[in-house]
Structure 1
Amino acid sequence: MNLEMFNQIASITDSLYLSSAAAVKPDRIRTVGITHIINCTLEIPNLNLPTIESIQIHVEDAPHARLCVYFDRCADKINQVRHRGGRTLVHCVAGVSRSASLCIAYLMKYHRMKLSDAYHHVKKRRPVIRPNAGFWRQLIDYEQRLFGRNSVRMIQSGIGWIPDVYKDEAKNMVWFQSRRS
């Protein structure tokens, strides 16, 4: 895997970008033309630039975390920024799970993409994404609410419950449960 990908700002649409926190640097933000930042971390403060509006979504990257309560709020904000001619960067610590899930939710709501299509669209632009199983369950519920049907389902695998879009990459993996003394 190319570790440099973790430090890149990926263009998801003309007005939506996705990255890790490490990529959020004033010069890079200006170069891309970012006007708004959605920071979905607990531990990293917002970039404080006078020309950038930042909001922080305090959520853990854990399967039990309720990211779904932010799907509409963040998607609506990204859409408002787009209509005003701005550009939004969504980031979490690694740009893999929380931020990717919010970008997928936006694509479902405002680009009317099925969950599977939204996932593949974001994955193509930022190959390191991998929302956790709990966020997948929430995205599946969100797709059901938006469209009345699902394009992704959770399946049992050798590494536990996973979305069926992970099936090929997980087929040779084995989950080892730690033993406690």
Structure 2
Amino acid sequence: MTYQLNAIRPYLYITAYSSLVEKSVDELGITHVIDATNNQISKDGRLAEIRCMQVDVDDLVDVDMRAFFESTADFIQEARDQGGKCLVFCNVGMSRSATLCIMYLVIHENLTLREAYSQVEKSRRIIAPNLGFWRQMIGYEKEKNDGNSTVEMIENAQGFMVPDVYLKKT
């Protein structure tokens, strides 16, 4: 699963950097790429003919990922509107890229955070945005919905706070 390009929508894909094979990208007709590796991998020549957006963030709980929610969602929507396809990747395709894909579905498809997580997780079973990103996604949904969110942080059996979607599968 880690080494696959996974389709969330016909125009939206998620993967890990290690899965970026020029042939696969070309065969899928990828026109836009969001590089969330913090290593500027998209500038290494493999993606020279593709429109790239760089998201320079580390996968750490105190990183402000929210600053990229709307700009990356708009970039994905631009690809869709132009009849193109967008590939979102980070190092493993679990946290940063998943967060950005989830938030695209929330922002441009008006899905709830719970629904968006479920859609992305069905396509790529290994997703696991870090807890800081979850807090930011929940905060975003609360701001847009009069203080309400469809996902909440709850304590798991080991006493750690986790998003309830990890324990209550929809």
Q: Judge same fold: TM > 0.5, yes or no.
A: yes
Q: Give the structure-1-normalised TM-score.
A: 0.87
Report the counterpart of residue 35 of structure 1 in structure 2.
Answer: 31
Normalising to structure 2: TM-score of the pair?
0.92
1:24 to 6, 11, 20: 20
Q: In the TM superposition, what is the alpha-carbon distance from 1:81 to its structure 2 partner?
A: 1.2
Tell me the number of residue pairs that the alignment of Structure 1 and Structure 2 aligns. 165
Aligned partners of 1:100 and 1:129 also within 8 Å: yes
Map of 2:163 onto structure 1: 163
The code of the aligned residue for 1:128 comes to: I
TM-align CA RMSD? 1.4
8 Å contact from structure 1 (residues 68, 138) kept in 2:
yes
Cα pair 2:106 2:113 within 8 Å, conserved: yes
Alignment of 1:50-65 (within 5 A): 50-65=48-63
* Unaligned runs of at least 5 residues, structure 2: none
Find the aligned partners of 1:164 and 1:129 in 2 and give their Cα distance.
14
Q: Equivalents in 2 of 1:25, 1:136: separation in Å?
A: 30
Which residue number in structure 2 is paired with residue 140 of structure 1?
138
Structure of higher CA gyration radius: 1
Point out the more displaced range, 70-79 or 151-160.
151-160
Q: State the match for 2:69 in structure 1.
A: 71
CA contact (8 A) 1:109 1:146 kept: no
| Equivalent-residue separation in structure 2 for 1:117 and 1:55 (angstroms) | 26
SS at match of 1:19: strand
- Contact map agreement 2:40 2:54 (CA 8 A) in 1: no
Corresponding residue to 1:124 among 118, 122, 125:
122
